[in-house]
Amino acid sequence: MNRLLLDPSELNDAGVVRLVGRRARHLVEVLRVDRGRRVRTAVLDVGRTEATVRAVGEDWVELAIGDEPTPPLPEPELRLILALPRPKTVRRIVLDATTLGVTRIDLVNAWRVEKSYFDSPLLAAERLSAAARLGAEQGDRCRLPQIEVHSRLMPLLSSLEIPPSVAALLAQPGAPHGVADQLGERRPEAYWLALGPERGWIEREVQTLVEVGFAPVQLCAGILRSEAAVVAALAQVLLVRDRGREVEAPVRVGDQSG
C-alpha cells in the first residue's frame, strides 16, 4: 500500500476517520504506526493529502486529515476493452490496470470467451471495486476506474463513437505496426485499448473493431496470457503517452511512511 484511500463519507466534519478491517490491520501490523505518525492518504475523487495517527488500538486506527487534499494532475482518458478472461484472473487484472491509471474497464464477451464465465460470483460489482481499490492504493491513485461487464460485444462496439482526438488500438498478433509506430507523434486526448481472448478475436470481431476505428498493433512476437497482455499493452501506451509531458513523481519503492 503506497497511499491509504479514504471515502469522503468516512470523514467527520473535523476530518477524522476511525478505521477497522483491512486498512487498520495494514497500518498496525505492516507499517506499525503509533500516535503522531504521518501517513500518506487520499480522499476518493478529491485528492492526495496526509493524515496524522491520533490513536491506535488492537484492531483499529484513528486518523486526522491534515492539509486540504491536492487534486491530481489531469491525465488523458485510458480505457481498456478486454475480452473476459478466466474469472479467477480478473481480480489481478483489475488491480494492475488500476495501478497503471486505467480510467474505465469494459469486460466484454467474444466468440472465444466461455459463456459460463459471466455467471461467476467473482464478477460481482463489490469484488471488482475491492480489487480496484487495492490497485489505487498500490499505484498512488485517488480515483477508481468505471467497470462494466458486457454479455454481448457487438452492441457495445456499435455504440462506440471514436472521434479523431481518441487513439483506439487493437492488440492483434501479426499486426504490421507496434504501439509506438502506430501512435507516432500524436498527442490524443484519450487512449482506448482493445484486447481479445487468449485464443484471439475471430475475423468478424477484428473486422468490426477496425470498422469502428481501432488500429491493429502488435505487442510482441509471442502470444501472451491475458494478465501479461494487459500489462504489456498498457506499459507501451503509457511510455508513448508520457513522452515530454509533465507527470507526477512516483512514490519511492520501499518507502513505508504510509
pLDDT at 251: 54
List strands edge to edge, sheet with 4-6. Answer: 4-6, 38-43, 47-56, 60-65, 16-20
CATH 3.40.1280.10, the chain: domain bounds: 77-241
Strands (E), the chain: 4-6, 16-20, 38-43, 47-56, 60-65, 77-83, 104-108, 146-150, 166-171, 190-195, 215-217
Residues 6+ apart with CB under 8 A from 185: none
**Averaged pLDDT, groups of 10, the chain, 258 residues long:** 93 94 94 94 94 93 91 90 96 97 97 96 97 96 96 94 94 89 90 92 95 93 88 94 67 45
pLDDT at 222: 77
Per-residue pLDDT tens for 196-239?
998 889 999 999 999 999 999 999 877 889 999 999 999 999 99
Report the topology of domain 4-65: Ribosomal Protein L25; Chain P (2.40.240)
Per-residue pLDDT tens for 68-86?
899 988 888 999 999 999 9
Second CATH level (architecture) for the domain 77-241: 3-Layer(aba) Sandwich (3.40)
pLDDT at 255: 46
pLDDT at 247: 59
pLDDT at 29: 92
CATH 2.40.240.20, the chain: domain bounds: 4-65
- How open is the CA angle 46-237-112, to the nearest 5 degrees? 100
pLDDT at 5: 96
pLDDT at 256: 43
The amino acid present at 242, given as its one-letter code, is D
